[in-house]
Amino acid sequence: MTNIIENIREQIRRVVGKAMAAAVGKGLMPDVSINEIIVETPKEEEHGDFSTNIAMLLAKKAKKAPVQIASILIENMDFTGTYIKRAECAGPGFINFFLETSWLYDTLKIIDREREDYGRINIGQGKKVVVEFVSANPTGPLHMGNARGGALGDCIASVLQAAGYDVTREYYVNDAGNQIEKFGISLEARYIQLLKGEDAVEFPEDGYQGEDIIDHMRDYIEQYGDKLLDADPEERRRELVNYALPINLERIKKGLEAYGVFHDVWFSEQSLYDSGEFEETINHLKSKGLLYEKDDAQWFRATDFGAEKDVVIIRSNGLPTYFASDIAYHRNKFIKRGFDRVINLLGADHHGHVARMKAAVEAIGIDPDRLDIVIFQLVRLFKNGEIARMSKRTGRAISLDDLLEEVGRDAARFIFNTKASGSHLDFDLDLAVKQSNENPVYYVQYAHARICSMLRLLESEGISVPVADEVDLTLLAAPEEINLMKKLAEYPDEIRIATQTLEPSRLTRYVTDVASLFHSFYTECRVKGEEENLMKARLLLVSATKTVIKNVLGILSINAPERM
């Protein structure tokens, strides 16, 4: 639960704050207010471990040159009780801080103490958050877009858990409404076609073309024969949907599980109607005067809340739109179940939903900032160097199951999390399949396996990983050792940033950096056969590296193999 980087930033903020007060007290500079002291980590090593731009920010108000302010502040700084060794003024007025190496040794002690909990922080403070993701219509198999959303949503959830939130992973099952109607019509058409021939009935224009619909009906007929041929059509469609829908859901569930994605709640859209919550919600909106009638339909005044246009929630045929039940669904999340935050993942093709959903949330009396909608860009699949289109209609789409079979869970999850959600993702199937150094996931896994191999070898000679307190960590002073320790120290702060930006993609980059620094260390620094104290110190560092790699891969739900 320790974020040492954050602790040090806090130390620096205190030191700077006190230095300002002291300088003002001595009349060296005017008493100007500053809302926040920003501490950042410079990328150049010569610029120290941390820096602040405060002198530059104060310059105008204090009517002094930044460099002058920086010098005054530095002269009035007191470093006792901190990791700070010295501070110096550089460039246009930055104050750079250099730390005692002991902060890195303390990092190793923290990792040794926290083990599988290292990296966990508590910015979530136990707040309840629901992450809703995938939520694909259960009318067919999952595709590449769902695969990206699945990897992303699951990792966002894991990151939030690591950050101290009480997280629920949820799948919203669209088992009501128009899509299900279409599903039923499609099944019915295939059913009749299979029994009475292709020409017996025309397949509906906007029906689901996929092979899976036909397969369903073939199986159904095998089990139950033609008993529905003369049934009432509405009855028949309901029966066919009731047959196929649970099968689809089960397949989706199985597929996601194979992908390492486990939803805690499968929330049925239909249940909102059954429980009366849907009606409650509509009545609530009506009573607040947020609905009006036009062209025989009921409209929601989304424009009152900044959306571009109002939106229909009850169609003129009396049937509600998807959006209507979605409002009830969000009311359920916030009010019935009391989530502090709601996070929804949506493919870019649904981004039009964002503004009106925010509007709806505000309409039911909830601060819309409590709703985060993460839009992820769609996936372009490359195979043999060319774009493989994925459309649900042609049935030529690559399904999640295909992906797992060809690429494997680890590579797929890793690749989907190497890019920020907002950036378009080109998924190179040929590259993903390769089990070579071109494929970044193996680079990281290799580092872990290599460490395990080292530990095994030493263990077989009776040498086990020592306890941090029994080791002279000051022996770790080589650049490769320092760089590796610094990177390990960043992990809790990486969790913090990933949480605040809802971007787990930075963790794949982070863990790649860890692996890279480890490999450099490995090449330069021997462990086995070194002088005993040095060996112990390095062994502890190696073990800490293993812990961090394993913890990060754990968040990504990617295996950390002991051999490969």
Does position 177 interact with RNA (CB under 7 A)? The reply is yes
Q: 83, 94, 183, 334: which one contacts RNA (CB under 7 A)?
A: 94
Q: Which of residues 326-355 bind RNA (CB under 7 A)?
A: 348-353
Does position 563 interact with RNA (CB under 7 A)? The reply is yes
Does position 296 interact with RNA (CB under 7 A)? The reply is yes
Alpha-carbon distance of 352 to 398, in angstroms, equals 26
Residue number with CB closer to RNA (265 or 420) = 420
Residue number with CB closer to RNA (135 or 399) = 135
Q: Which of residues 398-457 bind RNA (CB under 7 A)?
A: 418-420, 422-426, 435-438, 440, 442-443, 446, 449-450, 452-454, 457
Q: List CB contacts of 319: < 8 A, sequence separation 6 or more.
A: 177, 178
Q: 118, 171, 414, 522: which one contacts RNA (CB under 7 A)?
A: 522
Q: Which of residues 136-175 bind RNA (CB under 7 A)?
A: 137, 174
Residue number with CB closer to RNA (220 or 521) = 521
Residue number with CB closer to RNA (176 or 228) = 176
Q: 122, 283, 316, 394: which one contacts RNA (CB under 7 A)?
A: 316
Half-sphere exposure for 361 (CA within 13 Å, toward CB): 23
What's the Cα-to-Cα distance from 371 to each of 29, 84, 159, rounded to whole Å? 44, 40, 17
Residue number with CB closer to RNA (228 or 411) = 411
Q: Are 230 and 257 in contact (CB under 8 A)?
A: no
Residue number with CB closer to RNA (92 or 365) = 92
Residue number with CB closer to RNA (80 or 523) = 523
Q: Which of residues 203-222 bind RNA (CB under 7 A)?
A: none
Q: What is the DSSP letter of 398?
A: P
- Is residue 369 left, alpha or beta, with left meaning phi > 0 and alpha meaning psi from -120 to 50? alpha
Q: 33, 43, 289, 532: which one contacts RNA (CB under 7 A)?
A: 43
Give 95's strand partners.
52, 89
Segment contacting RNA (CB under 7 A): 9-17, 241-249, 292-300, 466-474? 292-300
Q: Are 66 and 88 in contact (CB under 8 A)?
A: no
Amino acid at 445: Q
Does position 527 interact with RNA (CB under 7 A)? The reply is yes
Q: Are 313 and 356 in contact (CB under 8 A)?
A: no
Q: How far is the CB of 226 from RNA (least distance, A)?
A: 30
What's the Cα-to-Cα distance from 526 to each of 468, 523, 529, 557, rounded to whole Å? 19, 8, 7, 31
Does position 564 interact with RNA (CB under 7 A)? The reply is yes
Residue number with CB closer to RNA (250 or 349) = 349
Residue number with CB closer to RNA (185 or 228) = 185
Alpha-carbon distance of 79 to 447, in angstroms, equals 38
Q: 92, 246, 276, 365: which one contacts RNA (CB under 7 A)?
A: 92
Q: How far is the CB of 177 from RNA (least distance, A)?
A: 4
Q: 36, 287, 309, 338: which one contacts RNA (CB under 7 A)?
A: 309
Alpha-carbon distance of 351 to 422, in angstroms, equals 12
Burial class from Cβ neighbours inside 10 Å (0-12, 13-18, 19+) for residue 162 reads buried
Alpha-carbon distance of 153 to 131, in angstroms, equals 7
Helix (H, G, I), strand (E, B) or coil at 502: coil
Q: How far is the CB of 196 from RNA (least distance, A)?
A: 28
Helix (H, G, I), strand (E, B) or coil at 62: helix
Q: Are 39 and 13 in contact (CB under 8 A)?
A: yes
Does position 3 interact with RNA (CB under 7 A)? The reply is no
Q: Which of residues 487-516 bind RNA (CB under 7 A)?
A: 497, 500-501, 503, 505-506, 509, 512, 516
Q: List CB contacts of 523: < 8 A, sequence separation 6 or more.
A: 480
Does position 460 interact with RNA (CB under 7 A)? The reply is no
β 84-90/94-99 pair status? antiparallel
Residue number with CB closer to RNA (258 or 457) = 457
Residue number with CB closer to RNA (48 or 124) = 48
Segment contacting RNA (CB under 7 A): 157-165, 188-196, 291-299, 327-335? 291-299
Segment contacting RNA (CB under 7 A): 158-166, 190-198, 295-303, 467-475? 295-303
Q: Which of residues 46-85 bind RNA (CB under 7 A)?
A: 46-48, 51, 53, 56-57, 59-60, 66
Q: Which of residues 368-397 bind RNA (CB under 7 A)?
A: 375, 377-378
Amino acid at 381: L
Give 359's strand partners.
none
- Report CA 551 to chain centroid distance, whole Å: 15
Q: How far is the CB of 98 from RNA (least distance, A)?
A: 11
- Is residue 502 left, alpha or beta, with left meaning phi > 0 and alpha meaning psi from -120 to 50? left
What's the Cα-to-Cα distance from 146 to each of 100, 168, 228, 377, rounded to whole Å? 48, 19, 34, 11
Site size with RNA, rule: CB under 7 A: 92
Does position 546 interact with RNA (CB under 7 A)? The reply is no
Does position 459 interact with RNA (CB under 7 A)? The reply is no
Helix (H, G, I), strand (E, B) or coil at 65: coil
